[in-house]
Amino acid sequence: MIFRSVQQPASRNFLRDLMLVGSAILAMGASQAWAFNIDDVAAQAKTLAGEKYSAPTSNLPKVFSEMKFADYQQIRFRTEKAYWSDQKTPFKLSFYHQGMHFDTPVKINEVTATGVSEIKYDPSRFDFGSLQFDANATKDLGYAGFRVLYPINKADKLDEIATFLGASYFRVVGKGQAYGLSARGLALDTALPSGEEFPRFREFWIERPKPQDKHLVIFALLDSPRATGAYRLIIRPGKDTVVDVQAKVFLRDKVSKLGIAPLTSMYLFGSNQPSAQHNYRPELHDSAGLQILAGNDEWIWRPLNNPKHLAVSSYSVENPKGFGLLQRGREFSRYEDLDDRYDLRPSAWIEPRGEWGKGSIELVEIPTPDETNDNIVAFFNPEKRPEPGQSMDFSYRLHWTMDEDALHSQKIAQVKQTMRSVGDVKQANLIRQPDGSTALVVDFEGANLKVLPPDASVTTQVSTDSNAEVKENALRYNPVTQGWRLTLRIKVKDPKKPTEMRAALVKDGQTLSETWSYQLPADE
User: Residue 42: CB partners within 8 Å, gap ≥ 6?
Assistant: 230, 248, 391
| Spans of the chain below 70 pLDDT | 1-34, 524
For residues 426 and 390, membership in a common domain is answered with no
Rg of the chain taking only CA atoms, in angstroms:
27
Position 429 scores a pLDDT of 78
**Residue 444 belongs to what domain range?**
414-520
For residues 83 and 132, membership in a common domain is answered with yes
Q: List pLDDT tens digits, range 12-57.
A: 444 444 444 444 444 444 444 568 999 999 999 999 999 999 999 9
User: Residue 173: CB partners within 8 Å, gap ≥ 6?
Assistant: 152, 160, 161, 162, 179, 241, 346, 400
User: Residue 121: CB partners within 8 Å, gap ≥ 6?
Assistant: 105, 140, 141, 142, 143
Position 22 scores a pLDDT of 46
For residues 193 and 329, membership in a common domain is answered with yes
For residues 255 and 206, membership in a common domain is answered with yes
Q: Which amino acid is at 82?
A: A
How far apart, in whole angstroms, are the C-alpha atoms of residue 393 and residue 382? 12
Per the CB < 8 A criterion, the answer to whether 99 and 64 are in contact is yes
For residues 131 and 161, membership in a common domain is answered with yes
Position 34 scores a pLDDT of 65
Domain boundary residue, one of 384, 407, 430: 407
Residue 14 within a domain: no
User: Residue 457: CB partners within 8 Å, gap ≥ 6?
Assistant: 507, 508
Domain boundary residue, one of 347, 380, 407: 407
How far apart, in whole angstroms, are the C-alpha atoms of residue 118 and residue 98? 17
Per the CB < 8 A criterion, the answer to whether 83 and 179 are in contact is no
Position 21 scores a pLDDT of 42
Dihedral over alpha carbons 474, 480, 482, 488 (to 10 degrees)? -20
pTM of the model: 0.91
Geometric angle at alpha carbon 299, from 297 and 179, rounded to 5°: 120
User: Which H helix or E strand runs over 47?
Assistant: helix 38-49
Domain boundary residue, one of 341, 374, 407: 407
Q: Which pairing describes strands 107-111 and 200-207: parallel, antiparallel, or unpaired?
A: parallel
For residues 318 and 235, membership in a common domain is answered with yes
Ramachandran angles phi, psi of 69, nearest 5°: -60, -40
For residues 393 and 488, membership in a common domain is answered with no
How far apart, in whole angstroms, are the C-alpha atoms of residue 313 and residue 323? 14
The Cα-based distances of 514 to 106, 128, 129, 241, 370 in angstroms read 43, 52, 53, 26, 31
The Cα-based distances of 378 to 263, 285, 358, 430 in angstroms read 5, 15, 16, 44
Residue 26 within a domain: no
DSSP 521: P
Q: Where are the beta strands (DSSP E) in 33-142?
A: 76-77, 92-97, 107-111, 116-118, 126-127
For residues 257 and 380, membership in a common domain is answered with yes
Q: List pLDDT tens digits, range 319-364.
A: 999 999 999 999 999 999 999 999 999 999 999 999 999 999 999 9
For residues 451 and 385, membership in a common domain is answered with no
Burial of 155 (0-12, 13-18, 19+ CB in 10 A): exposed
First to last CA, the chain: 78
Residue 478 within a domain: yes
For residues 419 and 446, membership in a common domain is answered with yes
Position 29 scores a pLDDT of 43
Q: Which amino acid is at 36?
A: F
CB atoms within 10 A of CB 494: 13
Position 3 scores a pLDDT of 30
For residues 491 and 366, membership in a common domain is answered with no
Per the CB < 8 A criterion, the answer to whether 71 and 65 are in contact is no
Residue 480: which of 416, 392, 385 has the closest Cα? 416
Per the CB < 8 A criterion, the answer to whether 182 and 170 are in contact is yes
Domain count, the chain: 2
How far apart, in whole angstroms, are the C-alpha atoms of residue 264 and residue 186? 11
How distant is the alpha carbon of residue 227 from its chain centre? 20
For residues 309 and 431, membership in a common domain is answered with no
How far apart, in whole angstroms, are the C-alpha atoms of residue 97 and residue 73? 10
CATH number at residue 440: 2.60.40.10
Residue 164 within a domain: yes
Q: Which amino acid is at 234?
A: I
